[in-house]
Structure 1
């Protein structure tokens, strides 16, 4: 969902290098700018790295900013030593504030991602409901849901199978979990298996078929919210099939 990884090398490199470059660029102006203004510039750099990188990159940027602020912008220049108590306090505050705002920036980005994802999920559900209400054929609703499942769950492919219950497949359940039940043995998955996974479709209490999901093996399962939306989409397909009065199993 996020596309960001905790140890993204590019983000970590930016967290290490960006504060150095900015602190070095401020050297010609260090006699003109106040220590507070210089520190604020470094905080902005930390926020920028955290906003476009990761929490680890933001923390690294805060540490790097404090170190290079000390080296380039506090006396004695060019050494990791501070003689002035006020400047020492500024460095400490820069580090603390940098760590706090980097964490906040990452959290804001994640919340934005969640809002975008939730909006996309709502659009999918609303569109499938609209198709059913406007008299779209059940086949059209099933096809729409099939396409949505591919993008929603990050699948290689997906097909709908009417009626059949042949075979033992891992099943995406109504609680958003992925389970395989064979006799008394129950297996729960934290990542996609290397076989097709079924998402059963019911309407009016009747079983009509199943979506057979073709995942990318070894990939982590999508967030629970996405799995629950997938279940809701399958339920809407079931409602469309039941409303059309198609034959069912059981």
Structure 2
């Protein structure tokens, strides 16, 4: 967004007066309601970038220059007609509303894209488990998936069923430190210790992933945490299968 934010902000201020100026030769024969609709198109185009400030600026700029160029008396910021006052106010209100809708739509699109990425990660891991490849390669793959899904710095894998008093990411997606439930969405994952994610299958612990979020505050939502649990379970299933096939290794 940073690459186009400044040009969009500049355009949100400059395009409305340019459009209004271009309409001035026709203003005596051009209904102001149609001019307002044209400015709404400009506002929608700016709002589509999903930058709240740009949408608001486009709405305000459209209202101001609509008043200046297209309402009587012309070339002043005075409005004599109550209809034109209503149109000016509507331009601001519509601009604000369209901007919020555009931002909401972009957020939904980004969320859907993230969901697709999570699903692809779980499917890829499931396919690796089904293919019966190297468990070391699978663990490395899941480590990378966990790092991306949770937005953390690093992940380590430790074999065995030994438990510690470190914070835990539980099967239901909650994060606890002892009996205390941590509010991850508000406070983020703990940065002063590793977080344990058990690798289990059929009720047996095969190891654990140690989640490290030391350099930044990560606030994965419940869905992301449940995806992490699902990925760990895939590793648990693979380790269980490997142990059944190679009991003496």
**Smaller-chain TM-score bracket:** 0.7 to 0.9
Per the alignment, residue 22 of structure 1 pairs with 15
CA contact (8 A) 1:12 1:56 kept: no
Per the alignment, residue 172 of structure 2 pairs with 175
CA contact (8 A) 2:12 2:58 kept: yes
Deviation at 1:48, TM superposition (A): 3.2
* Shift in CA distance, 23/76, structure 1 to aligned 2, threshold 3 Å: farther
Q: For 1:46-195, what aligned pairs fall within 5 Å after superposition?
A: 46-55=43-52, 57-163=54-160, 165=162, 167-181=164-178, 185-189=180-184, 190-194=187-191, 195=193
> Any gaps of 5 or more consecutive residues in structure 2?
none
Among 29, 32, 36, the alignment partner of 1:39 is 36
> Any gaps of 5 or more consecutive residues in structure 1?
none
Deviation at 1:23, TM superposition (A): 2.3
* Shift in CA distance, 150/202, structure 1 to aligned 2, threshold 3 Å: same
Q: For 2:243, what is the secondary structure of its paired residue?
A: coil
CA deviations over 1:184-224 (Å, ceiling 9, x no partner): 55544431322322211111110011111112555241232
TM (normalized to structure 1)? 0.81
**Cα RMSD (Å):** 2.8
Deviation at 1:231, TM superposition (A): 1.2
Per the alignment, residue 221 of structure 2 pairs with 223
Deviation at 1:129, TM superposition (A): 0.5
Q: Please give the alpha-carbon distance, in whole angstroms, between the structure 2 residues aligned to 1:81 and 1:145.
A: 65
Question: Post-superposition, which runs of at least 4 consecutive aligned residues in structure 1 deviate over 6 A?
Answer: none
* Shift in CA distance, 201/110, structure 1 to aligned 2, threshold 3 Å: same
Greater Rg, structure 1 or structure 2?
A: 2
Deviation at 1:238, TM superposition (A): 0.9
Q: Please give the alpha-carbon distance, in whole angstroms, between the structure 2 residues aligned to 1:72 and 1:20.
A: 15
More helix by share: 2
CA deviations over 1:95-139 (Å, ceiling 9, x no partner): 232222222212221121122111111111111111111112322
Q: Please give the alpha-carbon distance, in whole angstroms, between the structure 1 residues aligned to 2:6 and 2:144.
A: 36
Q: For 1:79, what is the secondary structure of its paired residue?
A: coil
Aligned residue pairs, count: 237
